[in-house]
Amino acid sequence: MDKAFSQIYKIQGGNIYNAGKASTEIKSILKQLGINSFIIRRVAIAAYEAEMNVVMYAKHATMTFEVTPKQINIIVEDEGPGIADVSLAMQEGYSTATPEMREMGFGAGMGLPNIKRNSDSFKIESVVGKGIKLEIKININ
Amino acid sequence: MKLKEIVKKLKLSVRCGENNLDRDVTGGCASDMLSNVIAYSKKGDVWTTIQIHANIVAVAVLKELAAIIIVQGREPADDTIQKAKEENIPLLVSKLSAYEVVGKMYELGVGRN
């Protein structure tokens, strides 16, 4: 499949205030490409939640953003603690956020479920102590 | 309903977005958990929260919300106001609790979107 567009973002863990940069940029690129606004919203939500997860839990990550004629792919590979029980993390309401994060309104336990809800294909691979790989695909049509 | 009517009737203080009060509000949501708002809010909602940090603006932009009402007399952080100005998200402030603000909005006819 031909790649119409591809971009790699580096995301640093730890700085909550800086978060949302990659997803904001992705959103504006998709607007420029003339993608339907419903699709843009799905991609932006998935990208934002993935970005927030890196910022809150991981050391750093690369986010690869690809637009092909048929779909939008977001691949996030982080270096961090990983998730011990992925099926638990996929349950709405389950969170390992710290009290500080919760006070700020993070840790609703809805990050991964929100990503899944807004994706057409969602894959997560976790290695405890190493990191997580997320593969998100969203169809354009 | 126009946002400016809500501002007037609820006596909200406008911290930024004075030029965007003509927009339509089609519904509302109330939550302090950001991902919950991302999941359940709808375009055109006014969002009631006690959160004051800049990420609330990112969430409002993401979901194309009409405005944010910060309740219980809390004040948005400076960088929140800065970001809201850049993104054209009105930031409104009320001394009332979320419960009261939402109740008053329902009285005005602003229900679930």
Q: Which of residues 19-58 of A touch B (CB under 8 A)?
A: 19-20, 23-24, 27, 41, 44-45, 48-49, 52
> Among partner residues A24, A49, A109, which is closest to B38 by beta-carbon distance?
A49
Say whether B62 and A108 touch across the interface (CB within 8 A).
no
Q: Check if B108 contacts A (Cβ < 8 Å).
A: no
Put simply, whether B32 touches A (Cβ < 8 Å) is: yes
Report whether A105 contacts B51 (CB < 8 A): yes
CA B97 – CA B109 distance, rounded (Å): 19
Q: Which fold has domain A5-139?
A: Heat Shock Protein 90 (3.30.565)
Model confidence pLDDT, tens digit, residues A83-118: 999 999 999 999 999 999 999 999 999 999 999 999
pLDDT (tens digit per residue) in B4-22:
999 999 999 999 999 999 9
Amino acid A19: pLDDT: 79
Phi, psi of B79 (to 5 degrees): -70, -20
Amino acid identity at B3: L
Can you give the pLDDT at residue A3? Answer: 60
DSSP for B81-103, please give it: HHHHHHHT--EEE-SS-HHHHHH
State mean pLDDT over A16-43: 91
Domain range annotation of chain A: 5-139
Q: What number of C-beta contacts closer than 8 Å exist between A and B?
A: 58
Q: What is the pLDDT of residue A16?
A: 78
**What is residue A30's predicted lDDT score, i.e. its pLDDT?**
95
Query: Which two three-digit tokens encode residue A106?
Result: 């993070």
SS3 of residue B74 by DSSP: coil
- Report pLDDT digits (tens) over A3-22: 678 999 999 998 777 778 89
> What is the distance between the alpha carbons of residues A49 and B99, in angstroms, rounded to a whole number?
28
Which chain B residue has the Cα nearest residue A109?
B35
In this structure, of A83-92, B82-91, B104-113, the range with the lowest mean pLDDT score is B104-113
CB–CB of A41 and B63 under 8 A? Answer: yes
CATH 3.30.70.20 fits B3-108, yes or no: no
Q: What percent of chain A has pLDDT over 90?
A: 89
Grade residue B34 by pLDDT with cuts at 50, 70 and 90.
very high
pLDDT band at B71 (very low <50, low <70, confident <90, very high): very high
Contact check, Cβ <8 Å, A16/B55: yes
Chain A CB within 8 Å of residue B52 CB: no
Interface test with A, best of B31, B38, B57, B87 (most A CBs within 10 A): B38
